[in-house]
Amino acid sequence: MDDHSPRDDAQALAPTPAPRVYETPPKDRPITDAEAARAAQLAANEHIKIASGYLRGGLADGLLKHATGAISEDDGQLVKFHGMYMQDDRDLRPERTKKKLDKAYSFMIRLRIAGGVISPQQWLALDDIAVTYAGSALRATTRQTFQYHGVIKSNLKRTMAAIDGALLDTIAACGDVNRNVMAATNPAQVGAHGAAHRLAKDISDSLLPKTSAWREIWLDGERVVGGEEEEVEPVYGRTYLPRKFKIVVAVPPSNEVDIFAHDLGFIAILDKNNQVTGWNVTVGGGMGMTHGEPETFPRTADVMGFVAPEDAIKVAEAVMTVQRDWGNRKNRKNARLKYTIERYGLAAFRAEVETRIGKTLGEPKPFTFTNNGDRFGWTEGDDGRHHLTLYVPSGRIKDYEDGPQFLTGLRTIAQVHEGDFRLTANQNVIIANVPTEKRAAIEALVDQYGITKGAGALRRNSIACVALPTCGLALAESERYLPDLMTELEESLATHGLAEEEITIRSTGCPNGCARPFIAEIGLVGRGPERYHLYLGAAFDGSRLSKLYKEDVAASDIRDTLDPLFADFAKGRNPGEHFGDYLIRAGHVARTVNGPDFHDRTGALKPAGHA
């Protein structure tokens, strides 16, 4: 994209918007009294939070119910704040009842790794946990962290103790809190990466829930006798946030962290020496929506202003607490910050943030993003250290039968590596800070275990969420299906001379958006078994949402739907023009300005294959 923010872009190209009328923001702090919450008809999760005693609920007792691998429904909501989701193996569901077995419950455990940086010692500890308790697989996620799948209830405490032993935790990795803070990995820009990582870490620490419930429940820690509410959770209070809250830190020109897809973002503004002079602040991005409910929509973030480095954490806390107080607690489908900003307006929101930090924000500084993918292979940092970005299909670090040995290979590398590891927001892994003299040895191990340093252009730009069999929300396959679809599409692209064309493609099993499908040039969102909504027309750099191009496409028809569009693109594109931009210019699909018009003018605007 050119040198402007997406909002500028939208304003330049959109028709004059009708004047918006915004609601008046609330004055009071959130309701924390059970009676009052009922009277106000707050969402069910608000009652659970109020009753939980700062995230304790019935978890300790639930762990002692030996006949079931599950915990209660309410505790299932609370356990998210501790970094886990209760799931069950959906592949096994059909046989279980007949066999007089309960659902095959297990837990997904997500770590909190701010900025995605871990040491080789931590890697080895996490590997050991994977082998011992989690089916010998680590899953690098789209939130720049690891998650484990398939940990059974009786092993939860052991697993948490082992994670604690690696000086890591899972606090607030899920739930209505600030989740794992992402930061640019930017191996080539050592100074900027350092600043981004530090900011991510500082935000993560300062916005971490303070309740001792996690230690008590999982590590048999002593219960810290609670004082006044303000002392237990001075920032969050008894009811935490209305909904999940996601923060990222980007360093241009790479938008690898997908800044526009998150509630709050910081874009590094660099001087000529690549030093950070301050941050542009973005607010109100988010992916999730619900099929068939047009009042739910994905939204790209607005650039709200500029902040000096020393004020960044204050701004982060202020943005989060305004959302804490203004966010909708009656309807969880309308609770993310993006809806708060749509309801009260960016101006009012910004004014409240400025009131809370006691100063005004500067005007946004110019910045340029070129892409939202990773740079595969070796890069050299400006300090002379080397970084190897590996391509990890769907982030799944395991040993493939007759294929790459990601788990064993990376374990072996961790045993000799002196630098660190970085996880990327695109589910890949960087072996970072390799001294020149060690580069050959690392390279040899990577090759020995068949670990991939890259892939075809489409795969390099792909993300898939986990979906089936573990995710309870999935309506269709994602991680297990996308590789096969990409094989089909690669054939199609090759016939049009587009084999090396960089096109972002992302799939999710449901519309909640974990793989950020609505800002991919090709987005597939599960609708039902082997059926997907096909979204097209997003920007390659992640700054513009896509549009529903075709509803409810059978998996077997996806290639045939895209093939004529590839043909048109190959013939009609301008030099350097990306697929998503072309489809809009050529009139195949309407441009989405932002969330509120996401559901307008959907569908193919003209027949494909006639360019």
Q: How far is the CB of 66 from other proteins (least distance, A)?
A: 5
**Looking at beta carbons only, is 469 or 523 nearer to other proteins?**
469
441's tokens: 């040895």
Is-cis flag, bond preceding 253, omega within 30? Answer: yes
Question: Per-residue contact track with other proteins, 100 to 119, x per CB under 8 A?
Answer: xxx-xxx-------------
Of 95-103, 298-306, 436-444, 600-608, the segment contacting other proteins by CB under 8 A is 95-103
Q: What is the DSSP letter of 299?
A: B
Under a CB-based contact definition with an 8 Å cutoff, are residues 458 and 490 in contact? yes
Is 487 a binding residue for other proteins by CB under 8 A? The answer is no
Q: How far is the CB of 95 from other proteins (least distance, A)?
A: 6
**Looking at beta carbons only, is 66 or 272 nearer to other proteins?**
66
Rounded CA gap, 378 and 30, in Å? 49
Is 220 a binding residue for other proteins by CB under 8 A? The answer is no
Rounded CA gap, 416 and 373, in Å? 28
What is the sign, positive or negative, of the torsion defined by CA atoms of 595, 597, 602, 606?
A: negative
Kindly provide the residue ranges of all beta strands, DSSP E only, lying in 382-538, ordered along the sequence.
386-390, 396-397, 420-423, 429-434, 462-464, 505-508, 522-528, 531-536
Length of the chain: 611
**Looking at beta carbons only, is 11 or 154 nearer to other proteins?**
154
Rounded CA gap, 341 and 357, in Å? 18
- Give the one residue of 154, 290, 360, 370 binding other proteins; rule: CB under 8 A: 154
Q: Which residues are catalytic?
A: 110, 179, 244, 246, 465, 471, 510, 514
Q: How far is the CB of 478 from other proteins (least distance, A)?
A: 22
- What Rg value do the Cα atoms of the chain yield, rounded? 23
Residue type, 446: V
Under a CB-based contact definition with an 8 Å cutoff, are residues 448 and 489 in contact? no
Q: How far is the CB of 104 from other proteins (least distance, A)?
A: 5
Rounded CA gap, 447 and 426, in Å? 22
Number of H helices, E strands in the chain: 20, 20
Is 132 a binding residue for other proteins by CB under 8 A? The answer is yes
Is 92 a binding residue for other proteins by CB under 8 A? The answer is yes
Q: How far is the CB of 132 from other proteins (least distance, A)?
A: 6
Under a CB-based contact definition with an 8 Å cutoff, are residues 216 and 225 in contact? no
581's tokens: 């931009």
Is 84 a binding residue for other proteins by CB under 8 A? The answer is no
116's tokens: 């995605």
Residue 427 region, left (φ>0) first, then alpha (ψ -120 to 50), else beta? left
Is 69 a binding residue for other proteins by CB under 8 A? The answer is yes
Residues 133-152 that bind other proteins (CB under 8 A): 133, 152
Is 99 a binding residue for other proteins by CB under 8 A? The answer is yes
- Give the one residue of 4, 47, 90, 96 binding other proteins; rule: CB under 8 A: 96
**Looking at beta carbons only, is 27 or 98 nearer to other proteins?**
98
**Looking at beta carbons only, is 96 or 496 nearer to other proteins?**
96
Under a CB-based contact definition with an 8 Å cutoff, are residues 467 and 525 in contact? no
Size of the residue set binding other proteins (CB under 8 A): 23
Residues 232-251 that bind other proteins (CB under 8 A): none
**Looking at beta carbons only, is 128 or 399 nearer to other proteins?**
128
- Give the one residue of 27, 67, 227, 231 binding other proteins; rule: CB under 8 A: 67
**Looking at beta carbons only, is 89 or 557 nearer to other proteins?**
89
Q: How far is the CB of 179 from other proteins (least distance, A)?
A: 28
- Residues within the interface to other proteins (CB under 8 A): 66-69, 89, 92, 95-102, 104-106, 132-133, 152, 154-155, 158
